[in-house]
A and B are shown apart, each in its own frame.
Chain A
Amino acid sequence: MNPYLDILRLAGPEAILTLTVLVVLGADLTLLRGQSVARRFNGGAFLSILGCVAAAGFAGLRLQGQTDADSLNGFLIVNPTIDFLKVVLLVLTIFTLLISTSGKFTNHVGEYLSLILLGTIGLMLLVSATDLLMIFLALEFASLSLYILTAFNKHNARSSEAALKYFLFGGMSAAFLLFGFSLLYGITGSTNLGQIAAGLAGKGLDPLLLVAIVTTVIGFGFKVAAVPFHLWAPDAYEGAPTPGAAFIASGSKVASFYVLAQIFSVGFAGAEGSAVWHGALPGWTPVLAVVAALSMVLGNLTAIVQSSVKRLLAYSAIAHAGYMLLGVLANTPTGRDGLMFYVITYALTVIGAFGVVAVVEDATGGDAWANFAGLSRRAPGLSLCLMIFLLSLGGIPPLAGFTGKFLLFSAVVQAGDNLGLLWLVILAIVMSMVSFYYYLRVLKAAYVEDAAAGAPAIRVPWPTRLALLLLAALVILLGCAPGLLTQFL
């Protein structure tokens, strides 16, 4: 077969999505031109969702066929796990689109929707690459869309500030990442992860390799918002249009963590070192252990003092990034499965949480605790969903967040010799006790406090309602029956 056509077939989901972007932009400029923003949003989102469904269908069918292919030496890998991740990313995008449709933050509907889709394409390319060059390109492609999305709330000066901050930090971290990659290429003469590992074998811990490890951690630490590279996150989450923040917190996390785990466990195989208590050896796991510990502690403690729920979710995202890093440094197949289960369920939960915040923000004009007061009376279904999402983030069984924590933490403890990694898990569990407090404070506002007298019931637009109900159902379902997800990982 013509090799070009072959690549096109392998990149089918991405190609479908690219066409969708063009269709959405075109429709917004022609058919929907002159309509109200709400109708343009509904129409555009409908087309976008159709495109996502088609792409997911393509990937899903290929998943059934167990296609296994490697094109251009790691530029585009196709295998069932990656196809499943692509389906997950598309599902997350669909949920993001559903909670976006009632947005009042912009008139540039076509651009907004196509940026979300372009970001998704970038993330999909990211998960299917095992070549450093392609990883870098895909990461930057996705990030560029996210920077612009952050700036999309033109009514809010903080939105532009947040975007600028995000962009400057992002540019800096990209430079670090590229620097690290170039050192790796210099040491091993290859940009393919597998060949890098082969090139590193037997060389021991070259000082250059240590620099490469540290700069890679810095680059990805920024992408996943781990301490001390997290400073952009609270501003970006707060300033970005809420559905945009949901997208940053969900899809981009899933893809980044998958690739992060790939780079370290495949590319840096042999340079693990050890993060075992009283037995630490130099390598990448102790570096990640430090970053993870800092993220868990700082993220959770800082979240306590936030009064804006979006900022609170940002700091909690930092803390969750810390838990997830534990899954990366476990560096075992069960650890990776636990990590992916955790990050996917986290993504679903956090979209839900942001969806609720978006509705409350639209109805009450803010996202402080006070705006959630009496929510259980003003919108009983909405506050029940909020309760499910926040309790899942806090790790209360039988919700997905708890099951994820159990799978992840047990895999991490199992990975260290002689319970050596237990100290990290104890830290994580102690810190999740802290997190319970601030999630409960939000729920207290919703369930215990009363709304101002005469506050009307809050109407939830139907696409958002559909998304929230499905997400809440998924959070419960995956918590009770994690096998539904783990069988694909």
Chain B
Amino acid sequence: MLAWTIYITFIGVLVLMLLPRDNARAARIVALLTAVAGCVVAFAGAIQQTNPGEVTQITRLDWIPAIGAHYYLAADGISLVLVVLTGLAAVAGILFSWNIEQRTKEFFAFYLVLIGGVYGVFLSFDVLLLFVFYELTIIPKYFLIARWGSTRKEYGAMKLAIYSFVGSHLVLIGLIAAWVVARAQLGHATLDLTELAKVSFPPAFQYWVFPVMFIGFAILAGLWPFHTWAPTGHVAAPTAGSMLLAGVVMKLGAYGCLRVAMLMFPEGVRDWQWAIALLAVIGIVYGAGVALVQRDFKFVIGYSSVSHMGFVLLGLATLNTLGLDGAVLQMFSHGIIAGLLFAVVGRMVYDRTHTRDFNDLETMHLGRRLPYAAVTFVIAGMASMGLPGFSGFVAELQVLMGAWLVFPKLTLLAGVGILIGVAYTLRAIHKGFYSDAPPAHAGHDHPLEPISVPERFGAVLLIGAALVIGLFPDLLMNWIEPCFKSPLFERLLKGGAL
């Protein structure tokens, strides 16, 4: 059933392509219906899956027998969490791009191709198939930003595309090498992830191939120092683009790290564990520090994404169930919260005021003039700071607890990152909405377009998700926890030994 998330999305693309060129309304409605249908299927399929700890096959067909590739879709709890996240983010993104008037049909077509690719990555258990979907997301990202973006959009788009492409090609190098070694060892060619995860690759081979593949995926997850695409890309992207970039695309990278690189090369992970943790913590502190001094509202959120994704990578590096559980939960949580923050800044504020410069925003008193936006941002900011009651709290706490067991000193540093996070969020709330600076000139008092209905729906949807998971984390933890206790991950948690 979950496979229909992919099919429905691509059917939506085809329908969009057949629509008349200038009917923006029809395009919006088709896109929204597609996304909602995908989201409903994602939820239904996830609830239907009775045993989230096991890899449950959805469909498996021979694809290229000569190289052992299968059209193999399956899901375990981790996939379920991320598929549900994709469904929510897709719907919210469309609600927040209701005001796209220029080439609406093409915008949503690219948007849905991206979403379809993301669903595909999360559901593929054949490495080649996963890679196909992974690369499929690069092209729509590029066009979404280059065509419908703002601030230095062509630069941001090309940078993102090149970073993504470099990353995916590092993965390809690792993939081909691993395929050849596995073939020699097994005696037959295979690209089935569950089978590859059982192969004992020679330690010397794992030692070099793991970092190649891990970095390949981690580029997209915003691993410092390969994160520089993220702030520029997020800032240049249209609102829905940033929401998806932060909300799901960065998760693709983290998911690939866990699902492919770490699962296949458990000894390699052991060798590089400390390095990943170190880079992750640098990312947490650096991202937060840079966010603290930005003048552009969107850059604050962009760098905060780097910081929050650092927690995901730190969680992965712990290699204990606590940290890994936290990492997956953090993927979900950050997907929702970053989406919401970008929605407020990009759609609610920038589309109305046409500025994101704090110096200008300070004089506009948006707290009074756009109360809905202000309240939404405060709530999202609280969630982002990791206040109890929101999903970010549960996730980051688990990551830190997991990390404390392995790298106590680094964990302290990461704690500092959280403190800076509180500081930059409060600064953004203050400067963006509640500053008492005198108005610059009278012109800024003209009424701003009120917050529209789709925006309200979108905001409620995302806040609701962050709250529900914050208050009842078990809803997701019941899916995530059994995964890391399953035989599939046993080798990873034991560092390669069986």
Binding site for B on A (CB under 8 A): 334, 337, 376, 387, 391, 396-398, 402-403, 406-407, 409-410, 413-414, 419, 422, 425-426, 429-430, 432-433, 436-437, 440, 444, 447-448, 481-483, 486
Contacts and interface: CB of A to CB of B under 8 A. Distances in A.
B41 to A, nearest CB: 22
B67 A448 contact: no
B427 interface: no
Given A410-B67, A437-B162, A444 B180 contact: no
Contacts of A444: 146, 154, 158
B434 interface: no
B492 interface: no
A453 to B, nearest CB: 15
Given A410-B176, A444-B154, A397 B136 contact: yes
B131 to A, nearest CB: 7
Interface string B35-72: 00000000000000000000000000001111100000
A398 B133 CA distance: 8
Contacts of B147: 447-448
B451 interface: no
B137 to A, nearest CB: 11
A459 B65 CA distance: 42
Given A413-B180, A440-B161, A397 B146 contact: no
A409 B176 contact: yes
B426 interface: no
A403 B173 contact: no
Contact of B143 (A334, A422, A426, A448): A448
B166 interface: yes
Interface string B117-161: 000000000001001100110110011001100000010001001
Contact of A436 (B106, B131, B154, B162): B162
Contact of A396 (B67, B135, B179): B135
A406 B106 CA distance: 30
Given A398-B136, A448-B147, A422 B177 contact: yes
B65 A391 contact: no
25 contacts: A334-B66, A376-B106, A391-B139, A396-B138, A402-B135, A406-B128, A410-B67, A410-B176, A413-B177, A413-B180, A419-B180, A433-B162, A436-B165, A437-B158, A437-B162, A440-B158, A444-B146, A444-B154, A444-B158, A447-B143, A448-B146, A482-B64, A483-B64, A483-B65, A486-B66
Nearest to B132: A397
B173 A440 contact: no
Among A406, A414, A433, A482: residue with most chain B CB under 10 A = A406
B169 A433 contact: yes
Nearest to B170: A429
- The main secondary structure of chain A at its interface with chain B is helix
A183 to B, nearest CB: 37
Please name the 8 residue pairs, one residue from A and one from B, whose CB atoms are nearest each other, closest first.
Answer: A397-B132, A448-B146, A413-B180, A436-B165, A433-B169, A414-B180, A448-B147, A429-B169
B183 interface: yes
B67 A407 contact: yes
Most buried by B among A391, A410, A425: A410
B162 to A, nearest CB: 6
Given A414-B183, A436-B162, A430 B67 contact: no
Contact of B176 (A387, A398, A425, A433): A425
Nearest to A341: B66
B181 A419 contact: yes
Contacts of B135: 396-397, 402
A67 to B, nearest CB: 26
A430 B147 CA distance: 27
Interface of B: 63-67, 106, 128, 131-132, 135-136, 138-139, 142-143, 146-147, 154, 158, 161-162, 165-166, 169, 172-173, 176-177, 179-181, 183
Q: Is the interface of B mostly helix, strand, loop or mixed?
A: helix
Nearest to A376: B106
Given A429-B169, A440-B161, A447-B143, A406 B67 contact: yes
Nearest to B172: A429
Nearest to B110: A447
Contacts of A432: 169
A337 B65 CA distance: 14
B173 A429 contact: yes
B197 to A, nearest CB: 19
B131 A397 contact: yes
B109 to A, nearest CB: 11
B165 A406 contact: no
Nearest to A405: B172
Given A403-B64, A406-B128, A410-B67, A396 B139 contact: yes
A419 to B, nearest CB: 6
Given A407-B67, A433-B166, A482-B64, A448 B176 contact: no
B470 to A, nearest CB: 38
Nearest to A487: B66
Contacts of B143: 447-448
Nearest to B167: A433
Contacts of B161: 436, 440
B249 to A, nearest CB: 16
A413 to B, nearest CB: 5
Nearest to B165: A436
A440 B161 CA distance: 9
Counting chain A CB atoms within 10 Å of each CB, which of B128, B139, B166, B176 scores highest? B176
Contacts of A448: 143, 146-147, 154
Contacts of B132: 397-398, 402
Contacts of B139: 387, 391, 396
A433 B132 CA distance: 16
A406 to B, nearest CB: 7
Nearest to B161: A440
Contacts of B146: 444, 447-448
A396 B139 CA distance: 9
A189 B100 CA distance: 75
A448 B161 CA distance: 14
B3 to A, nearest CB: 16
Contacts of A447: 143, 146-147
Contacts of A429: 169, 172-173
A398 B6 CA distance: 15
Contacts of A430: 169
Nearest to A435: B165
A397 B158 CA distance: 19
Contacts of B138: 396
A410 B191 CA distance: 12
Contacts of A402: 132, 135
Given A437-B162, A440-B161, 5 more contacts: A337-B66, A396-B135, A396-B136, A440-B158, A444-B146
B136 A433 contact: no
Contact of A410 (B65, B166, B180): B180
